[in-house]
């Protein structure tokens, strides 16, 4: 198996939630000599230095400073969260006939049927009282602890004709029957802390079924959370592997994309803008210097794309469908839900051509609006030419998604080449990608 794919499988398994994903990426970065900065502390940045900063423990920006004064910022962004079910503050919900369920509500646009009848774990983070301090700790149950039980076909003969899932009734997971162990006591034992020291929590249902490659030629990669952990992994791996360039290189992984990004740590928050401001202040950039740098910069919004479905090709635009194992997808949309335009597309396509990475063009069917993603939201805060890209996958937002196993290494290679570029504006208003 390809080493990049193997490393991704391990990363995916260690990242059941956005907090765990960011923790795993931070470890990856620190192993590559990135220094961890804290937002609440002063920053001392050195030319050629490698740094990472976290917000809320669930979003991360890693960056590399060039040795000389940069002409451009090269920014790639992906997201750390995926659809699931959040556990409400009073987690235990007694029901009829002694059944005790966990009290949950949907997070993002999950494919509900894919969450029923499969083992589910509980993961997230705890805030703990530790002496006079309050500290955060990521936690995950050691294995599955609940199931969302579906109805037997005998009780609803119409099940296979389509079913309208009612989240407050159908999607509450079974935890116990009769005497019910306390969820927080179980999590306290898992984390090696006392139940009474748990002050608050962010918890959700997660699938721990390990991702795998499969097929006669190991052509496919399936698992939970491929959207968007594939791209989150690729933007960070691409940054750590890129050689030195004259540009300021940033890899961003934002939380809360699945619920609109409108949080402090989301793409619609100020995290990227604040981080760029602190970096450019440290480099003694004036306001004009900053605006000049941004005008010549480039952003990749990296989020997975819909592959043409083998059983339902009618949902794809035949001339603009994305195929698994056919390279990096560039997404286009007339309404600019994908922000790709000729400049950003052209610069990215040239970078891919130089790196021998195939690209393919994706448009939604003309009568289907499709989802939006990070790009046009992030641009509200940092306005640079940007292109929406991703990897082709099936069953987006299912608890078990499928992608092409050969595409992920191509995305890492494209990102590596992107971060090694050194774009400059030319005197006649054009662009030069390498000096």
Q: For residues 374-393, which are near Zn ion according to CB under 5 A?
A: none
Q: For residues 108-147, which are near Zn ion according to CB under 5 A?
A: none
Region near Zn ion per CB under 5 A, out of 46-54, 198-206, 287-295, 296-304: 296-304
Alpha carbon dihedral 80, 329, 398, 60, in 10-degree steps, equals 0
Whether 136 contacts 127, CB under 8 Å: yes
Residue whose CB is less far from Zn ion, 64 or 402? 402
Whether 408 contacts 373, CB under 8 Å: no
Residue whose CB is less far from Zn ion, 66 or 83? 83
What's the number of CA atoms in the CB half-sphere (13 Å) around residue 284? 4
Region near Zn ion per CB under 5 A, out of 128-136, 158-166, 267-275, 298-306: 298-306
The least CB distance from residue 231 to Zn ion, in Å, is: 8
Closest CA to 383 of 300, 295, 280: 295
The least CB distance from residue 373 to Zn ion, in Å, is: 6
114 burial class (0-12, 13-18, 19+ CB within 10 angstroms)?
A: middle
Residue 81 binding Zn ion, by CB under 5 A: no
Residue 303 binding Zn ion, by CB under 5 A: yes
The least CB distance from residue 304 to Zn ion, in Å, is: 6
The least CB distance from residue 267 to Zn ion, in Å, is: 11
Residue whose CB is less far from Zn ion, 315 or 434? 315
Residue whose CB is less far from Zn ion, 280 or 396? 396
Neighbours of 273 (CB within 10 A): 13
Whether 114 contacts 84, CB under 8 Å: no
The least CB distance from residue 11 to Zn ion, in Å, is: 16
Residue whose CB is less far from Zn ion, 203 or 302? 302
Residue whose CB is less far from Zn ion, 285 or 338? 338
Cα–Cα–Cα angle for 301, 305, 308, nearest 5°?
Answer: 160
The least CB distance from residue 234 to Zn ion, in Å, is: 13
DSSP state of 308: P
Q: Is 131 left (phi over 0), alpha (psi -120 to 50) or beta?
A: left
For residues 395-427, one letter each, b for 16 or more C-beta atoms within 10 angstroms of the residue's C-beta and e for the rest, the string is: bbbbbbbbbbbbbbbbbbbbbbbbbbbbbbeee
Residue whose CB is less far from Zn ion, 228 or 268? 228
Q: For residues 200-239, which are near Zn ion according to CB under 5 A?
A: 227-228
Question: Helix (H, G, I), strand (E, B), or coil: what is residue 103?
Answer: strand
Q: Tell me the CA distances in angstroms from 360 to 300, 319, 322, 341, one per residue in order.
A: 15, 11, 7, 15
Residue whose CB is less far from Zn ion, 227 or 422? 227
The least CB distance from residue 372 to Zn ion, in Å, is: 10
Task: Count the residues of the shown chain that bind Zn ion, applying the rule CB under 5 A.
Answer: 3
The least CB distance from residue 78 to Zn ion, in Å, is: 8
Name the residues that contact Zn ion, by CB under 5 A.
227-228, 303
């Amino acid at each position: 198996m390809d080493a990049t794919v193997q490393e991704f499988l391990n990363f995916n398994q260690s990242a059941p939630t956005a907090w765990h994903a960011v923790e795993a990426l931070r470890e990856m970065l620190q192993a590559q000599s990135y220094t961890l900065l804290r937002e609440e502390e002063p920053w001392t940045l050195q030319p050629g230095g490698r740094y990472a900063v976290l917000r809320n423990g669930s979003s991360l920006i890693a960056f590399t400073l060039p040795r000389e004064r940069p002409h451009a910022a090269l920014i790639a962004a992906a997201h750390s969260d995926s659809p699931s079910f959040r556990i409400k503050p009073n987690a235990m919900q007694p029901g009829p006939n002694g059944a005790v369920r966990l009290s949950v509500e949907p997070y993002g646009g999950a494919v509900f049927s894919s969450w029923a009848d499969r083992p589910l774990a509980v993961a997230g983070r705890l805030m703990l009282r530790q002496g006079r301090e309050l500290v955060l700790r990521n936690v995950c149950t050691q294995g599955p602890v609940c199931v969302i039980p579906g109805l037997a076909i005998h009780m609803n003969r119409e099940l296979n004709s389509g079913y309208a899932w009612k989240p407050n009734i159908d999607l509450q997971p079974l935890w116990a029957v009769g005497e019910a162990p306390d969820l927080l006591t179980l999590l306290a034992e898992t984390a090696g802390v006392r139940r009474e020291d748990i002050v608050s929590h962010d918890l959700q249902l997660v699938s721990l079924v390990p991702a795998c490659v499969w097929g006669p030629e190991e052509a496919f990669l399936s698992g939970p959370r491929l959207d968007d952990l594939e791209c989150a992994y690729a933007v960070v791996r691409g940054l750590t592997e890129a050689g030195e360039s004259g540009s300021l290189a940033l890899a961003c992984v934002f939380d809360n994309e699945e619920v609109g990004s409108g949080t402090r740590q989301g793409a619609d928050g100020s995290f990227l803008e604040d981080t760029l401001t602190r970096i450019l202040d440290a480099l003694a950039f004036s306001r004009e210097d900053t605006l000049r740098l941004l005008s010549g910069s480039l952003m990749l919004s990296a989020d997975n794309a819909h592959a043409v479905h083998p059983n339902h090709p009618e949902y794809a635009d035949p001339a603009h469908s994305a195929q698994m194992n056919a390279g990096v997808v560039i997404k286009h949309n007339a309404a600019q839900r994908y922000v790709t335009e000729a400049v950003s597309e052209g610069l990215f396509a040239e970078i891919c051509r130089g790196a021998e990475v195939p690209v393919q063009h994706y448009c939604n069917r003309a009568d289907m609006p499709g989802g939006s993603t990070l790009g046009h939201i992030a641009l509200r805060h940092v306005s640079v030419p940007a292109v929406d890209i991703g990897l082709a996958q099936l069953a987006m937002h299912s608890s078990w998604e499928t992608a092409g196993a050969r595409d992920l290494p191509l995305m890492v290679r494209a990102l590596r080449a992107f971060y090694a570029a050194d774009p400059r504006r030319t005197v006649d208003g054009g662009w030069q990608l390498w000096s």
